[in-house]
Chain A
Amino acid sequence: MYPEWSKRSRILLGVLLVLSVMILTVYFREGSNGILHCAQRYTVNMVVPLQSGVARAVAPVRSTFRFITSIGSLSTKSKKLEKENKKLKAEIVTLEQIKKENKRLRKLVGFKERSDFTTVPAHVIGKSPTEWQAVIVLDKGKNDGIKKNMSVVVDGGLIGQVIDSSPKACRIQLITDQKSGVGVQVVSTGETGVLQGQISGELRLSYISKDSKLKKGDKVVTSGLGGVFPKGIYVGTVRKVAKRPYSLFKEIKVKSLVDFTKLEEVLIITDPLPGNPSGLED
């Protein structure tokens, strides 16, 4: 015979499990304006000032810690940067010539020149409270013109997109999140695929044919397909290419230049997408 409390505890367990499944079902069936989605937004809004305060408080400690841990590698890094600087100077000269030529040819064929993106700078004030999702919180929101689906970049390339925006903050789903999918193009071959995040923080490029000629080191940029990310934003470099038996596609890993664990300042692209101005939601 089980004691009375044991029976009651099992009944409560059953009730709470059924309730959890019901809540989960409602969450997936309701729209983004449903009660649970609204509750999520309100909770995030309430937490944002606290996250911001803590982020500000720990910033000096983090910077000091980073400085101390990087002292050992500074000399090697400096030599590497000097070498890279010389190489880049030479590349700039070549690129300037190409830019001039490009401008002239665009004029000839009547193409409109692509303007630079309009961006809003923002600070990272919160990070995901679990490793199962790659999400950050920024200190800019609807009051600053930030809308859902806007792209977010740093100097190392694309990092993600706005998934919801409140008056003073917004949440960004990073491209390393498992549920993230970015339409991309391999610059050297012109092939398009989908870049997906993984739990390990790596990026996997899917839907590239097994006959593709792409190789390690090839650059990957956004393709503009799908109407979410503007075309031509640098995403990363092909790190590993492997053939899988019995598969129509290659197994490709892409490496981003961005260290997603150390994001502090980012830029939100506020331009409406060409051909899809309604892609940005309030």
Chain B
Amino acid sequence: MQIYLVSFFILLASFVLQTTVAPHLQVFNVQPDLILVVVVTYAFIQGPIAGSAAGFVGGILQDLVLIRGVGLNALCKTIMGYLGGMMEKALFADNVLLMMAAIFLATILNQLIYSSLIFILGERIHLWSAFLRLILPSALYNAVLAPLIYHLLYKIVVFEKKAPVFK
């Protein structure tokens, strides 16, 4: 029970930071997606079940302050949480660069799913322009932040579960 509460508060904290602090951390017009990084790194530690649940809750929270429609981020981040969880103990644990690469790819995939959904909902997207100006820089930004967030999460969650440690 304690781990569920802790997990919820981690997501709530990342949501508050995303809505208050992240917009002020813009670099080249992109800001970090803290909720995504938290969901995926959390899934690395806890596996696909906890990962997809965290993705759903984190996505819903994010959707509640956006204007595009509640459920869009929930859908994307549920998938990312699940995929992150599938990589539990697999490839990232031994190498920090590999973990950063995983977050980099997770961000690109998340953004591509999101842009496809808003395209289906009727928005005109210039995918190449969006990829160069938005998706790629934010993937780099998230990848840079990933080790720090993983360390923090590891320290909080580790009392419940032994998480793999990267070198």
Name A residues whose Cβ lies closer than 8 Å to a Cβ of B.
5-6, 8-9, 12-13, 16-17, 19-25, 27-28, 36, 39-40, 43-44, 47, 50-51, 53-55, 58, 62, 126-133, 135, 163, 171, 173, 178-179, 198-201, 261
Residue A13 contacts which of B48, B64, B133 (CB distance < 8 angstroms)?
B48
CA distance A9 to B79 in the complex (A): 11
Q: Which residues of A contact B16 (CB under 8 A)?
A: 47, 50
Question: Contact flags (1/0) for B59-98 with A, using CB distance below 8 Å?
Answer: 1111011111111101100110010010000000000000
Known: A23-B60, A24-B71. A179 touches B123 (CB 8 A): yes
How many B residues have CB within 8 A of the partner chain?
52
Q: Please, could you name 21 A-B residue pairs with CB atoms under 8 Å apart, sorted by A?
A: A5-B49, A9-B85, A12-B53, A16-B55, A16-B74, A20-B56, A20-B74, A20-B75, A21-B71, A21-B75, A23-B74, A25-B71, A27-B69, A39-B64, A43-B61, A50-B20, A128-B23, A130-B31, A132-B134, A178-B125, A261-B26
B53, B66, B70, B121 — which one has the most chain A CB atoms within 10 A of its CB?
A: B70
- Interface Cβ pair total, 8 Å cutoff: 141
Known: A13-B48, A129-B19, A178-B124. A173 touches B129 (CB 8 A): no
CA distance A19 to B78 in the complex (A): 11
Provide the main secondary structure of the chain A interface: helix
Q: Which residues of A contact B60 (CB under 8 A)?
A: 23
Residue A43 contacts which of B29, B65, B69 (CB distance < 8 angstroms)?
B65
Residue B20 contacts which of A9, A12, A51, A62 (CB distance < 8 angstroms)?
A51
Closest beta carbon of chain B to A45's beta carbon, Å = 10
Residue A40 contacts which of B23, B70, B82 (CB distance < 8 angstroms)?
B70
Question: Contact flags (1/0) for B117-129 with A, using CB distance below 8 Å?
Answer: 0100101111001
CA distance A198 to B70 in the complex (A): 22
Q: Which residues of A contact B118 (CB under 8 A)?
A: 132, 178
B18 at the interface (CB under 8 A from A): yes
A17, A20, A126 — which one has the most chain B CB atoms within 10 A of its CB?
A: A20
B23, B62, B69, B75 — which one has the most chain A CB atoms within 10 A of its CB?
A: B23
Closest beta carbon of chain A to B29's beta carbon, Å = 7
Closest beta carbon of chain A to B114's beta carbon, Å = 7
> What residue of chain B has the Cβ atom nearest to residue A261's Cβ?
B29
Q: Which residues of A contact B68 (CB under 8 A)?
A: 132-133
Q: Which residues of B contact A171 (CB under 8 A)?
A: 67
